[in-house]
Amino acid sequence: MNSKRFGSKILAAGVALGLSLPLMAQAADVTVATTAIVEHPALDAVRDGVRDELKANGFEEGKNLTFIYKSAQGNPATAAQIAREYVGDAPDVIVPIATPSAQAVVAATPDIPVVFSAVTDPVAAKLVAGEGSSGTNVTGVSDLSPIDQHIALIKELTPDAKTIGVPYNPGEANSVVLLDLVKKHGEAAGYKVIESPATKTGEVLTAAQNLIGQADVIYVATDNTIISAFEAVVKVGVENQIPVYAGDTDSVKRGAMAALGFDYYDVGRQTGKIVVDILNGKKAGEIAFQGVSKTNLFVNPAMAAKMGVTLSDDVIARAAEVVE
């Protein structure tokens, strides 16, 4: 029997006897393997949130926790390779961050508990069959963006805009889902939505440039490829006076004028709670995947001005964070 799995069973037995979690955590060494499709601030924040939630519940690196992290550097083939390596190592839980990594891990193992995070649509990505508990080894946290609220924000801050340009990676299942939602809600609000594909980070600048003269604003969803080269989109926005909006708040610090989104560190903490439940004996298939309900408005008045927009005092006052 895998010693780590055995240790988890001892921990679960201790919980059943009513012993405190921090005390029992010291009795069992566990391994949590995390992986992300690419490194960027939002996904890094998820990883850090998972690790901190584990520590808050008595699982601490250097004491009773081995915490592994690997990035696929934007390459799906690398994501699949990492997944196979992890399955061979047999950790107690695997935490894939973002849709491509989650798809790779779920395809690699039907047995090891998988807790995905920052996955836009787990059903469309075929990670789970539907809402509710999966009955398999898979659960996690979805970060499906509130696209209707994003469209409303665009209308409020740039009321004269008629067209929304969306650079996206058609190879990311999450990006296709989000583009469809932008079209649905954008067209219902009277916008024309113009898509501009980029299949890798080196194509992001060209994708943004292709929107010059076509889009009144640019909207970047939680697309890992586009976000990893986000500064290229900002460059186009500033040089051509095209306001740039983002689906994740971390991108406001990198130059977006505004975003209404989740705190991805909180998403990581939420994910970590599920991991703790599994380490304490609960089965992944008994836990329904969760969504994130709380959103925050981040604004960057200086970047907005460079893109030709003056944010009102009211908008600035209600923002959860104003990036200077």
pLDDT given at position 155: 98
Average pLDDT over residues 231-252: 97
Closest CA to 279 of 268, 290, 271: 271
Exposure of 155 in the CB half-sphere (CA atoms within 13 A) = 14
Strand duo 65-71 + 114-119: pairing: unpaired
- Asked if residue 22 has pLDDT above 50, the reply is no
- 48-106 pLDDT, tens digit per residue, is 999 999 999 999 999 999 999 999 999 999 999 999 999 999 999 999 999 999 999 99
The lowest-confidence range among 16-25, 116-125, 236-245 is: 16-25
Closest CA to 216 of 152, 255, 159, 147: 159
Give the architecture (CATH level 2) of 147-261+296-322: 3-Layer(aba) Sandwich (3.40)
Q: 12: pLDDT confidence band, cut at 50, 70 and 90? A: very low
- Asked if residue 17 has pLDDT above 50, the reply is no
State what percent of residues in the chain have pLDDT above 90. Answer: 86
Number of helices (H) and strands (E), helices first, in the chain? 13, 12
Contact (Cβ atoms closer than 8 angstroms) between residue 220 and residue 145: no
Closest CA to 287 of 95, 142, 136: 136
Q: 24: pLDDT confidence band, cut at 50, 70 and 90? A: very low
- Domain boundaries defined on the chain: 3-143+264-286, 147-261+296-322
Average pLDDT over residues 223-251: 96
pLDDT given at position 147: 95
Q: C-alpha dihedral over 184, 190, 192, 198, to 10 degrees?
A: -40
What is d(CA 81, CA 62) in angstroms, rounded to the nearest whole number?
Answer: 27
Contact (Cβ atoms closer than 8 angstroms) between residue 191 and residue 150: no
- Asked if residue 14 has pLDDT above 80, the reply is no
- 133-142 pLDDT, tens digit per residue, is 999 999 999 9
**Identical fold at 3-143+264-286 and 147-261+296-322?**
yes
- 170-211 pLDDT, tens digit per residue, is 999 889 999 999 999 999 999 999 999 999 999 999 999 999
Adjacent-strand bridge partners of 31: 66
> 3-class DSSP state for residue 199?
coil
- Which run of H or of E encompasses 100? helix 99-108
pLDDT given at position 262: 86
Average pLDDT over residues 237-263: 95
Report the chain's terminal Cα–Cα distance, integer Å: 54
Average pLDDT over residues 107-129: 96
- pTM exceeding the 0.85 threshold for the entire prediction: no
What is d(CA 96, CA 141) in angstroms, rounded to the nearest whole number?
Answer: 11
Per-residue CA distances from 76 to 35, 50, 196 (Å): 12, 23, 21
What is d(CA 297, CA 308) in angstroms, rounded to the nearest whole number?
Answer: 20
Q: 295: pLDDT confidence band, cut at 50, 70 and 90? A: confident
The rounded mean pLDDT for the chain is 92
pLDDT given at position 26: 43
pLDDT given at position 28: 66
- Asked if residue 15 has pLDDT above 50, the reply is no
Q: Which residues contact 104 (CB under 8 A, 6 or more apart)?
A: 72, 76, 79, 80, 82, 83, 96
Q: 132: pLDDT confidence band, cut at 50, 70 and 90? A: very high
What is d(CA 152, CA 81) in angstroms, rounded to the nearest whole number?
Answer: 41
| CATH C-level class of 3-143+264-286 | alpha beta
Contact (Cβ atoms closer than 8 angstroms) between residue 125 and residue 289: no
Q: Which residues of 124-157 are buried (b: 16+ CB within 10 A; e: fewer)?
A: ebebbeeeeebebbbbbbbbbbbbeebbebbeeb
